[in-house]
Chain A
Amino acid sequence: MVYKIMNSRFRIFLESAIISMLILIIGFSFGLYVESNRNDKIIENYKNYEIQALDLKLQNYYYQIMDSSSCKQAIEQNFQFAEDIYLTGLELEKFEELNQITDELLREKKRYSLLKTELWLNTLLLKKKCDASFDTIAYLYAGDPTNSRIVAEQKIISNVLKDLKKEKGNLLVLLPVAGDLGLNAVELQKRVHNVTRLPVIIINEEIVLEGFNSIDEIKKYLRF
C-alpha cells in the first residue's frame, strides 16, 4: 500500500505527514530539553539554598546559645538569602507558566514553600535575638487559583509587594509562600494567624490583611 502511494502523485500526503511529524518531534524534543534545563536550574538552586538554610539555622542556634555580637552579619546573610530565594521563587512561577510538557515543578514548588517557611521562622528568631530593625511580610497566596477574581487580586497584590520591596530594600523581608499545597508547616502558620482565605499578607506576625490593600495601607503597619 505504502509502495503504491509512494509511486503515485498522492505520495504528497505521506510526505507531508512525515514532515509534519518531524516538526512535531523537533518541537517536543526541544521543548523537553528546554523544560528539563529549567527544572534542573530550579533543582540545582534548591540544593544550594538548602545548604544556605542549614547554615543560617546553625548560626541562629549559635546566637541563641552564645551571644549576639555577630547579629549584623547574620541579618545581612538572612537578607541575602531571602532576596535570592524570592527571586528564584519568581523564576519558578514563571517557569511553571511556561512548562507545557513536563509537570515536575509542583514538587519543587512545595520544597521552596517549605524553605521559605523555614526562612520565615529563622527571621522571627533573628528579630527576637538580635533586636533587628526590619519588617517582615509573609504573603500567603493560592498556588493554583481557578477563580479569575483571585487571579486578578493576586497579580495586583504581587505587584504592590514588589514595589514595596523595591522601595524598602533591606528594611523589609518579603516571603511569598503558596498557602494551599497541603504542607503542614504552612498550615500551622495559617492556624496560628487564623487565616481562613487566601491571599493574605501577615505583617510582622501581628497584622493579618486579607485580599488587596494599597501600598499606603500596608505601610501604616510597617515599623521601618
Chain B
Amino acid sequence: MNFFTWVYIFLFFFGIFFLTIFMFLHYRNRYRLFSSPAFTKHYSVSFLVPAYNEQNSLVETIEAIVNIDYPTDKKEIIIINDGSKDNTKEIALELVKKYSNVKLLDKTNSGKANSLNEALKKATGELIAVVDADSYPQKDALLKMIGHFDDSSVGAVTSRVLVKNKPNWLGKFQVMDYSIIAWTRKLLDFVDSVYVTNGPLSMYRTALVKKLGGFDPKNLTEDIEITWHILSEGYKTRMSYDAIVYTTVPEDFKTWVKQRVRWNLGGLQTVQKYGWAMFQKGAFGHFVIPYVTASFIFAIIGFILFFRYIWIKGSYNFFSWYYSLQGYPFWRYFDYTVSFTLLLFLGICFFVLAIWYYNLGFRNSETGNKSVIKIVAYSFFYRSLYVIPLIIAIYKLARGDIRWYTK
C-alpha cells in the first residue's frame, strides 16, 4: 500500500470518528438541545460593547441591548470607542444622553482585547456580557443564558450566532455555515467542550476574567483565547442554543477571507499557547486541544492532497493539450470505471455521514431542511474555501505578520 493511500485512510478514519461522535451527541441529547436552566437569581450584568468605526450599526446594537428582557437596574452598558475615525464617538454620546444606564469609555485605538480590559476595570456587574457593535441580541437571550451561572463551575456562557445580512451567495452560504457552527458548538457542550465563546454575545464571570488577567491583547481572537484560558483553569463553558444573537457577516469574498484569516491566526495562536495542556486531565486536555489541533492538521493535509491531485491531473492535461489539439483527447467519455476500493468505501461512508450530519444541523437551526444539492454545494464548494484563509494564516504566522485584519 502506498504512502498516500495510508494518508487518505488516516483522514477518512478520523473524519468518520469525529462525525460519529457528533451523531452520538445529537441522538443522545436531541431533546435537550433547546433547553437552558431556568434563572433563579438576577445577577447584575455589565454589557461591554467595543466599537471601532461602527457608526452604521452601533445604535441598533445598543437599542437591542437596552430592550433585552432584564431589569434595567441590573444592566450596565459600556460602549468602548476604540479610537474610531468615523462618527462612532458622537453617536455613542447621543446614546449616553438617551439611556441612563449607557456609559462611554473613549480611548485611543489599541484593539478589541485592550478595549475590553479597559472596560473590565470599570464594570460593576457580577457578570460581563461582551457584545460586538455589529451584533443584535434577541430580547430573551440573556434570560436563556444566565441560569447557567447558578452552577459555580461555569465560567462562561455563549449564545447562538445567526446571520443578519444575506444579500448574495456568500451570505447564503454563511447562513448555512453559522447554523452548522452553532449546532456543532451546542453538541460539544454536552461533553464540556465549548471551546469558543463568540464575540457577538457571550457572558463571563467578572471576577474570574479579572483573576485570569483579562483578555489577551496579543491574540487576534480574544474570544477563543479567553475560553481556553477559562477551560484550562478547570471551569466549564456552556452554550445556550436558544439564546440568539444576529450579526453582520462579510458581504464580499475579500472581507470574508480577511475575517477568516484572523480567526485562523487567533486559533493557531491559541493552540500554540495552550499546547502544554494537551492530554491533561479533563475534556479540555483530552478532547478540545487534540480536536482543534487535528482540525488544523487535517485541513492542511487535505489541502496538500487536493493540490497534489490538481497538480497530477493538471500536468497530464498540460502535457496532452498538444495531442488534444490534433484531435486526440486525453480523457474520453466512458473511460471511467467505478469499482469497489477501500478508499471508495471509506469515502462514501464519510460523505453519507457528513451529509446526514449537516442535514440534522440544518433541521435543528433556523434554516430548516435544505436540499441535498445545497448541502453538497455547501460541503464541497463553500467548506473547501476554508483552506484559503488557513494557508494565508499559516504563511502570516510563519512570517510573524500578526495584526488585526478586518478593519
A→B interface (CB under 8 Å): 9-10, 12-13, 15-17, 19-20, 23-24, 26-28, 30-31, 34, 94, 98-101, 103, 148-149, 151-153, 155-156, 159-160, 212, 214
- Assuming the A-B contacts A31-B341, A31-B345, are A24 and B24 also in contact, with contact meaning beta carbons closer than 8 angstroms in the complex? no
Question: What would be 28 A-B contacts, judged by CB atoms less than 8 Å apart?
Answer: A13-B21, A13-B191, A16-B17, A26-B345, A28-B342, A31-B340, A31-B345, A34-B339, A34-B340, A94-B337, A94-B339, A98-B339, A101-B1, A101-B342, A148-B318, A148-B319, A149-B315, A152-B316, A152-B318, A153-B319, A153-B320, A153-B323, A155-B330, A156-B323, A159-B329, A160-B328, A212-B323, A214-B326
| Shortest distance from the beta carbon of A85 to any chain B beta carbon, whole Å | 20
Contact between chains at B343 and A20 (CB < 8 Å): no
- Assuming the A-B contacts A30-B340, A101-B1, A101-B342, are A152 and B24 also in contact, with contact meaning beta carbons closer than 8 angstroms in the complex? no
CB contact between B17 and one of A20, A30, A101, A160 (< 8 Å): that residue: A20
- Assuming the A-B contacts A15-B24, A19-B20, A156-B320, are A24 and B13 also in contact, with contact meaning beta carbons closer than 8 angstroms in the complex? yes
Report the Cα distance A32→B292, complex, angstroms: 34
| Shortest distance from the beta carbon of A62 to any chain B beta carbon, whole Å | 41
Contact between chains at B25 and A12 (CB < 8 Å): yes
CB contact between B330 and one of A34, A98, A100, A156 (< 8 Å): that residue: A156
Report the Cα distance A138→B252, complex, angstroms: 58
Chain A residue at minimum C-beta to C-beta distance from B339: A98
Contact between chains at A98 and B341 (CB < 8 Å): yes
Contact between chains at B28 and A12 (CB < 8 Å): yes
Counting CB contacts under 8 A, is B346 at the interface?
Answer: yes
Q: Find the residue from B17, B329, B332 having the highest chain A CB count within 10 A.
A: B17
List the A side residues contacting B320 at CB < 8 Å. Answer: 152-153, 155-156
| Shortest distance from the beta carbon of B286 to any chain A beta carbon, whole Å | 8
Counting CB contacts under 8 A, is B190 at the interface?
Answer: yes
List the B side residues contacting A94 at CB < 8 Å. Answer: 337, 339
Contact between chains at A149 and B319 (CB < 8 Å): yes
CB contact between A30 and one of B28, B283, B317, B345 (< 8 Å): that residue: B345
Report the Cα distance A99→B341, complex, angstroms: 7
- Assuming the A-B contacts A12-B24, A16-B20, are A24 and B346 also in contact, with contact meaning beta carbons closer than 8 angstroms in the complex? yes
Report the Cα distance A20→B345, complex, angstroms: 13
Counting CB contacts under 8 A, is B356 at the interface?
Answer: no
List the A side residues contacting B340 at CB < 8 Å. Answer: 30-31, 34
Report the Cα distance A101→B339, complex, angstroms: 14
Counting CB contacts under 8 A, is B385 at the interface?
Answer: no
Report the Cα distance A99→B18, complex, angstroms: 27
Report the Cα distance A99→B344, complex, angstroms: 11
Chain B residue at minimum C-beta to C-beta distance from A13: B21
Contact between chains at B21 and A152 (CB < 8 Å): no
List the A side residues contacting B330 at CB < 8 Å. Answer: 152, 155-156
List the A side residues contacting B25 at CB < 8 Å. Answer: 12
Report the Cα distance A16→B191, complex, angstroms: 14
Q: Find the residue from A26, A100, A159 having the highest chain B CB count within 10 A.
A: A100
List the B side residues contacting A103 at CB < 8 Å. Answer: 1
List the A side residues contacting B367 at CB < 8 Å. Answer: none
CB contact between B9 and one of A12, A24, A149 (< 8 Å): that residue: A24
B297-329 contacts to A (CB < 8 Å): 312, 315-320, 323, 326, 328-329
Counting CB contacts under 8 A, is B93 at the interface?
Answer: no
List the A side residues contacting B317 at CB < 8 Å. Answer: 152
B1-33 contacts to A (CB < 8 Å): 1, 5, 9, 13-14, 16-18, 20-21, 24-25, 28
Q: Find the residue from B319, B339, B340, B342 having the highest chain A CB count within 10 A.
A: B342
CB contact between A159 and one of B5, B328, B339 (< 8 Å): that residue: B328
| Shortest distance from the beta carbon of A152 to any chain B beta carbon, whole Å | 4
List the A side residues contacting B181 at CB < 8 Å. Answer: none
Counting CB contacts under 8 A, is B349 at the interface?
Answer: yes
Contact between chains at A100 and B332 (CB < 8 Å): no
| Shortest distance from the beta carbon of A24 to any chain B beta carbon, whole Å | 6
CB contact between A23 and one of B18, B21, B319, B349 (< 8 Å): that residue: B349
Contact between chains at A100 and B341 (CB < 8 Å): yes
Counting CB contacts under 8 A, is B386 at the interface?
Answer: no
List the B side residues contacting A151 at CB < 8 Å. Answer: 316, 319
Contact between chains at B342 and A27 (CB < 8 Å): yes
- Assuming the A-B contacts A23-B16, A24-B13, A156-B330, are A100 and B323 also in contact, with contact meaning beta carbons closer than 8 angstroms in the complex? no
Report the Cα distance A98→B343, complex, angstroms: 10
Report the Cα distance A160→B320, complex, angstroms: 13
